[in-house]
Amino acid sequence: MVATIEPVEYEVHGETVFVDGIKRHRCQGCGEEILRIDAIEELRKKANEYYKKAHELLTGDEIRAIRYKLGVSQSEIEGIIKAGEKTFTRWESNKVIQSGIADSLLRVLGAVPGALAYLKGMSPVYSRTIAAQIAFASNTGETVAEVSGTRRELMAA
């Protein structure tokens, strides 16, 4: 067996990509190629990253940067956007390619001030805050918008 590092052909979503820098072993007698398990994992991650770049999707590093900018943990944002457990771990490590819709949502969250707060208001975790504002407004005669605005003013102070 001879170790080589050559581009490897890999299929992602029906498209062939060529991934550089993957170590594989080739039998000198029969030409069979063998990849170690760690090389297979690296191949899949790099192939997914190449695919994301070719299709103008956010890379794992870009997704992580947006999440850091928002100041939320992986599990927090998964709850807010109603994604499955470990979704962000997989997206950020390039193990899984996010859908175009998820990609667009992440871009909006990263670019539009207040988008995360808006989604938090829709999330069951944060809907108790809205319910409390409605209850408070009904007891005081204020509108929910007035209560919410007062709350924002207090939080900004």
Spell out the SS3 assignment of the chain.
CEEEEEEEEEEECCEEEEEEEEEEEECCCCCCEECCHHHHHHHHHHHHHHHHHHCCCCCHHHHHHHHHHHCCCHHHHHHHCCCCCCHHHHHHCCCCCCCHHHHHHHHHHHHCCCHHHHHHHHCHHHHHHHHHHHHHHHHHCCCHHHHHHHHHHHHHC
Please say if the pLDDT value at position 14 is more than 80. yes
Query: What pLDDT, on the 0 to 100 scale, is given for residue 119?
Result: 85
pLDDT in tens, 86-120: 999 999 999 999 999 999 999 999 998 888 988 88
- Residue 157: pLDDT over 80: no
- Residues 122-140 have a mean pLDDT of 54
**pLDDT value of residue 139:** 59
Residues 6+ apart with CB under 8 A from 67: 74, 77, 88, 92
All structural domains of the chain with their residue ranges: 2-54, 57-115, 123-157
pLDDT of amino acid 50: 93
pLDDT tens per residue across span 31-83: 888 888 888 999 999 999 999 999 999 999 999 999 999 999 999 999 988 89
**Rounded Cα–Cα distance for residues 25 and 37 (Å):** 12
Check if CATH label 1.10.8 holds for domain 57-115.
no
16 is written with which tokens?
Answer: 């062939």
Judge if pTM exceeds 0.95: no
Does residue 127 surpass a pLDDT of 70? no
Fold classification of 2-54 is Ubiquitin-like (UB roll) (3.10.20)
Position 98: which residue type? Q
